[in-house]
Chains A and B, each alone.
Chain A
């Protein structure tokens, strides 16, 4: 009944791109890595002093592994350069599940300008997706384990999701096959980057467990604040620049938006982040008496993540609403995960990237004008939660048996910098003994 048949058309024809649009989109994509730099700074700042160098080096190493693996095999499965995919034929429809493009980027030079830009976008996206869980594993995740996980994400999971959503796979075809709006909408990578990264972070913290002393046998969890709020907040500012470019480039590449629509996309990105920050600022001010810097940073980032999904399809008022909702719920979810569920997520990636990405995708369904778009978004969300999370968990659990994720107790006690790198990020500072160990 269901058969896997390769060599069927993978993506619908797209309108030709003028030189001016190509040049502008390329310029935007060259700015987009600032979002990665911002997230890397945030990841490092929210960890401990004794693991700061390992945290930043890890961000670089994971991004490096991810782009290399994606170039070798991932891009083939994403199907960006090819016109074929493996599909399942069922119920009279074709369900594309896996790209079958050329390996090793063969054919890149002769690809259309659109395909080349799409591939560059995916390279930046896969680097970001691989880095997101790194912050959640701060202070205990070994570099080798992180790099192995990045390879799995870049070689298997990200290409699958990218093909389903961007490469003409079954989620992209929901509109053509079932009349559900324009198919699953994800112009900036909220699903392929942020939800994937957030769910990977959840799988990681389940497998690696909490930091030593985080959840003592008795009483509440131990607060382990980030070591450098300046890194974190500057990372937020840096991320904004990258996000403005990222969302605008995504709108051109994946939605074929005209240039006249790009200022609106950028304004919506800014409004969403601003509304989220103010919501988090207010919530933490009301709950704790003073605004919390790291939670406000989480709120700002949550607003940016939300905008990734809906900035290109929302009005400014809707962008403010979406950002405010993300900013309102993010600190509550961070607290819930830590206090009620005993999840140790130093960077808050599960709430910031995972939950806010899901909310953004849902909001895009509400805001888009096409009939059936909400249903398409819900089906996409079900695919992410119902397929991607179990798949990532399974792959990480298997990988953990080969390359153990967690550092040994002694390494965690002396810090990841000394244990893995042989030197600290701040050699002239006195590193205080951790009083939380018992």
Chain B
């Protein structure tokens, strides 16, 4: 889980770069960049959840 999240995050960044190249007008470019950021955020959430200790697990 944790590594999956960390791999999703660069994918989101690449989406933002794709937006710059693919869309010439600012409005659509901004919308696509926001979508890329949403993917980055999704990866972050997955990574955070992957690092959360399991409920009831033994802790140091």
A residues lining the B interface (CB < 8 Å): 90-91, 93, 174, 177-178, 180, 206, 209-210, 212, 215-217, 341-343, 371-372, 374-375, 378-379, 381-383, 385-387, 389-390, 393-394, 409
- Kindly identify which residue among A209, A215, A382, A389 contacts B16, using a CB–CB cutoff of 8 Å: A382
Tell whether B44 is near chain A: CB-to-CB under 8 Å: yes
Q: Which residues of A contact B34 (CB under 8 A)?
A: 378
Contact status A209-B60, CB under 8 Å: yes
Interchain CA distance A381-B12 in the complex, whole Å: 11
Q: Which residues of B contact A180 (CB under 8 A)?
A: 20
Answer whether A387 and B53 are a contact pair too, CB < 8 Å, given A378-B30, A378-B34, A378-B37.
Answer: no
Answer whether A379 and B16 are a contact pair too, CB < 8 Å, given A215-B59, A216-B59, A341-B52.
Answer: yes
Answer whether A386 and B10 are a contact pair too, CB < 8 Å, given A215-B59, A342-B53, A378-B37.
Answer: yes
Q: Which residues of A contact B6 (CB under 8 A)?
A: 389-390, 393-394
The CB with the most chain B CB atoms within 10 A, among A215, A343, A374, A378, is that of A378
Contact status A371-B17, CB under 8 Å: no
Interchain CA distance A174-B17 in the complex, whole Å: 10
Q: Which residues of A contact B41 (CB under 8 A)?
A: 385
Contact status A215-B53, CB under 8 Å: yes
Answer whether A379 and B17 are a contact pair too, CB < 8 Å, given A210-B59, A215-B59, A393-B6.
Answer: yes
Name the interface residues of B1-41: CB closer than 8 Å to any CB of A.
2, 6-7, 9-14, 16-17, 20-21, 26, 29-30, 33-34, 36-37, 40-41
Interchain CA distance A386-B53 in the complex, whole Å: 23
Q: What are 28 A-B contacts defined by CB distance under 8 Å?
A: A91-B21, A174-B20, A178-B20, A206-B2, A210-B60, A217-B56, A217-B57, A217-B58, A217-B59, A342-B52, A343-B51, A374-B30, A378-B16, A378-B37, A379-B16, A381-B37, A383-B13, A385-B9, A385-B12, A385-B37, A385-B41, A386-B11, A386-B13, A389-B6, A389-B9, A390-B9, A393-B6, A409-B60
Answer whether A390 and B16 are a contact pair too, CB < 8 Å, given A382-B36, A385-B40.
Answer: no
Given A378-B30, A379-B20, A385-B41, 5 further pairs, Cβ under 8 A? A178-B20, A217-B57, A342-B52, A381-B37, A393-B6
Interface size band for B: 20 to 34
Contact status A379-B48, CB under 8 Å: no
Interchain CA distance A215-B33 in the complex, whole Å: 38
Minimum Cβ distance to chain A for residue B43 (Å): 8
Q: Which residues of A contact B51 (CB under 8 A)?
A: 206, 343
Q: Which residues of A contact B56 (CB under 8 A)?
A: 217
Interchain CA distance A386-B45 in the complex, whole Å: 12
Minimum Cβ distance to chain A for residue B42 (Å): 11
Chain B residue nearest in CB terms to A391: B10
Contact status B20-A382, CB under 8 Å: no
Contact status A382-B30, CB under 8 Å: no
Shortest 8 CB-CB distances between A and B: which pairs? A386-B13, A382-B16, A91-B21, A390-B6, A386-B9, A386-B40, A206-B51, A382-B13
Minimum Cβ distance to chain B for residue A273 (Å): 27
Q: Which residues of B contact A177 (CB under 8 A)?
A: 20
- Kindly identify which residue among B33, B48, B57 contacts A378, using a CB–CB cutoff of 8 Å: B33
Q: Which residues of A contact B53 (CB under 8 A)?
A: 215, 342
Chain B residue nearest in CB terms to A205: B51
The CB with the most chain B CB atoms within 10 A, among A215, A381, A390, is that of A390
Contact status B10-A387, CB under 8 Å: yes
Answer whether A387 and B37 are a contact pair too, CB < 8 Å, given A212-B60, A215-B59, A217-B56.
Answer: no
Minimum Cβ distance to chain B for residue A433 (Å): 18
Q: Which residues of A contact B21 (CB under 8 A)?
A: 90-91, 93
